[in-house]
Amino acid sequence: MPLMTSEQYEESLRDLNLLVYLFGERIGNPVDHPIIRPSMRALAKTYDLALRPEFEDIMTATSHITGKKINRFTHIHQSIEDLVKKSKMGRLLGRETGCCFQRCVGMDALNALSIVTYDIDAKNGTEYYQRFMKYLQYVQENDLTCDGAMTDPKGDRSLPPHKQEDPDLFVHVVEEKTDGIVVRGAKAHQTGAVNSHEIIVMPTMAMREDDAEYAVAFALPSDAEGIIYIMGRQSCDTRKLEPTTMDVGNQLFGGHEALVVLDNVFVPWERVFMYKEFEFAGQLVEKFASYHRQSYACKVGVGDVLIGAVQTAAEYNGVEKASHVKDKIIEMNHLNETLYCGCIACASEGHREPNGTYAVNSLLANVHKQNVTRFPYEIARLAQDVAGGLMVTMPSEQDLRSPETGKWIQKYLKANPNIPTEDRMRILRLIENITLGAGAVGYLTESMHGAGSPQAQRIMISRLVQMNLKQAAAKKISGIE
């Protein structure tokens, strides 16, 4: 079954026995929980679009293992064209859902591991790459969603893993057995974790020999014994519990994050892809980070939705012809398309690794992600400027429906006489969702901190920019020998 339907995907989640907590209580059925379900629907779009003929070229690929058609989210990039299509896929899904669709992290983890496991074997004569390829075929054949888990809680940031007061603040091996290892720790900020079939755990930073027990990468079924999910809060998340839907803003889709606790979890050797090869931990982090920084093409798609909402709000408010409004919307488009330039550029300048996997240009991927930490915030600021203050002072949908207050809302919140008051309220709620509410987690905070902090990208830019070539060019032109 190389391609699942969204209905089959939903049923596959029901078959999992996840240990999930929200608001201090265990959730027996996360698939139907009103706060979590919108995130499941968003991820289900990755299955829906793969089966639509008009998106087949972008959403599917041919497995280099089996030759079968597979979902691109389970594919290992085999060409520059694959890297470019990945960016186009991210923009498409961002535009279709208006939020984070959660499946990129696992795709990026698979591609990074395909490179690094091969390189470890080439140096050490190990068998990680063979294990990984067998696991990859399993993921492809079953069209599984993988959660890429890299971020540890980290504890005291001034100390390396082995010097932490609590050794569990970084995931590490606590016992080695003949048939596998036992691990303990946690992974934070895990996007789409309870919507995933598999958890792929990777080290969170470069390691030294003293941290060898922390230099571990492996994959687990998401309902493996000892895994606990504690759901994160989002702004305005309890609006999803209300009987009406308009005040949510994005009525169908959303995202989620979770703290994933690994409480003495057993991992069989066939699912271990790095163990004590500390000298490769930094390479894995950098490969994954570069891929994942490219993945922020998704923010361009969400930007498309936000810009469309702002243009609509301007028309509903009757200000679409004002020169300053038109100029602000032009600036929003300029910033959004500049982001798209970055993700396409790092893909187009990609290269082939020794194992055949194509990797993005790391410098341009970091430059792209650095822009993502800034431009969406300016786009959101302009969106709020054009939308007006009613976006955050508007009465609820219940008040609109009330026989006592509805008539006053219909009367006094009307702007363009040709547009129903309810339509105006709906588009303003969407802008609120993306720039302030639950959707702002995926569009703004994720833009800032996802795939590493802004400073991490600046460090990589400083390493990769080849300043000596720039200086040599300047000296040559100025006549300095």
**DSSP secondary structure letters along 249-267:** SSSS----EEEEEEEEEEE
Residue ranges of the domains in the chain?
A: 293-468
Joined together, the tokens standing for residue 12 give: 């596959």
CA torsion 437→443→449→453, rounded to 10°? Answer: -140
Taking only the tens place, the pLDDT of each residue in 174-185 is 999 999 999 999
Joined together, the tokens standing for residue 421 give: 């008051």
- Candidates 262, 179, 148; CA nearest to 214 is 262
Q: Cite the active site residues.
A: 100, 104, 191, 257, 292, 296, 298, 446
- Candidates 50, 24, 32; CA nearest to 143 is 50
- Identity of residue 25: E
**Gap between the Cα atoms of 99 and 302, Å rounded:** 6
C-alpha distances out from residue 356 to 58, 107, 352, Å: 21, 16, 6
**Gap between the Cα atoms of 177 and 174, Å rounded:** 10
In three-state form (DSSP H/G/I as H, E/B as E, the rest C), the secondary structure along 331-375 is HHHHHHHHHHHHHHHHHHCCEECCCCCEECCHHHHHHHHHHHCCH
Cα angle 15-20-24, degrees, rounded to a multiple of 5: 150
**Gap between the Cα atoms of 40 and 56, Å rounded:** 22
- Candidates 304, 446, 353; CA nearest to 82 is 353
In whole angstroms, how large is the CA radius of gyration of the chain? 24
pLDDT digit string (tens) for the chain, length 481 residues: 689 999 999 999 999 999 999 999 999 999 999 999 999 999 999 999 999 999 999 999 999 999 999 999 999 999 999 999 999 999 999 999 999 999 999 999 999 999 999 999 999 999 999 999 999 999 999 999 999 999 999 999 999 999 999 999 999 999 999 999 999 999 999 999 999 999 999 999 999 999 999 999 999 999 999 999 999 999 999 999 999 999 999 999 999 999 999 999 999 999 999 999 999 999 999 999 999 999 999 999 999 999 999 999 999 999 999 999 999 999 999 999 999 999 999 999 999 999 999 999 999 999 999 999 999 999 999 999 999 999 999 999 999 999 999 999 999 999 999 999 999 999 999 999 999 999 999 999 999 999 988 999 999 999 999 999 999 999 999 999 8
CA atoms within 13 A on the CB side of 25: 6
Backbone angles phi, psi at 4, to 5 degrees: -90, 150
Query: What is the architecture of the domain spanning 293-468?
Result: Up-down Bundle (1.20)
Taking only the tens place, the pLDDT of each residue in 210-258 is 999 999 999 999 999 999 999 999 999 999 999 999 999 999 999 999 9
Can you spell out the DSSP letters for 189-248?
EEETGGG-SEEEE--SS---GGGGGG-EEEEEETT-TTEEEEEPP-TTGGGGGSS-SGGG
Measured over the CA atoms of residue 243, residue 249, residue 252 and residue 258, the dihedral's sign is: negative
**Gap between the Cα atoms of 88 and 92, Å rounded:** 6
